[in-house]
Amino acid sequence: MKIYTRRGDAGETTLHGGAAVPKEDERVQAYGTIDELNAVLGTVLALNPAGLDSDRLFEVQSDLFVIGARLSSSDPQRAYEKGTIPRLPASRIGDLEAWIDEVESGLPELDAFILPGGNAAGSQLHVARTVCRRAERTVVGLLPEQPDLGELIIPYINRLSDLLFVLARGVNATAGVPEQRWIPVRERPRTVTQSSGGEQ
């Protein structure tokens, strides 16, 4: 089977179920961003950072495939009934929350905004968090026509972004990389410059 089909050369793609839509369609943007997020998580796993539960992150990647299948379906309810796409178990949100609580329990209390960064894996987890937030915004745009997305898919993505934030903190803490606090201008020490003479 060839990887290229040429069917998308005219700027259209086919949803699961057979409907052809432009590639800039909101649904395509949504599942495309989920795919992008999954790829960033693949980069994190390739870095194999200490302190990260890789098995659980693999499960998240699988969840994202399930979400992508739902978003790419032209008639999701019919696809569910026929069993051609899987459902995301509602228990997965609780699993993410438990993981968040577990990681947070070993971290210092957050008393300020922190700047994204750290070691390679921690930085990539921050990138994943921002892609996840973009995916959330994109999926929210589908709510008027697909309100069922608000029942499970959007809460899952919302919770996942929180998880990615604490995982970034956890990976950096395990590596001994200090967090860089964002200091508002009003709280920064003033630098006094002395004049060497002449008009100012």
141 is written with which tokens? 């745009």
Average pLDDT for the chain:
89
Would you say 98 and 161 are in contact if contact means Cβ atoms under 8 Å apart? no
Q: Lowest mean pLDDT: which of 47-51, 62-66, 189-193?
A: 189-193
Q: What is the dihedral of CA 102, 156, 48, 168, to 10 degrees?
A: -60
Helix, strand, coil % in the chain, rounded to nearest 5? 55, 5, 40
Q: For residue range 103-123, what is the model confidence (pLDDT) as tens digits?
A: 999 999 888 899 999 999 999
- Residue with the larger pLDDT of the pair 20 and 41: 41
How many residues in the chain? 200
Cα gap 12→139, rounded to integer Å: 20
pLDDT of the residue at 24: 72
Topology (CATH) of 15-185:
Hypothetical Protein Ta1238; Chain: A; (1.20.1200)
Q: What is the dihedral of CA 32, 35, 41, 46, to 10 degrees?
A: -120
pTM value is: 0.86
Mean pLDDT computed over 30-55: 97
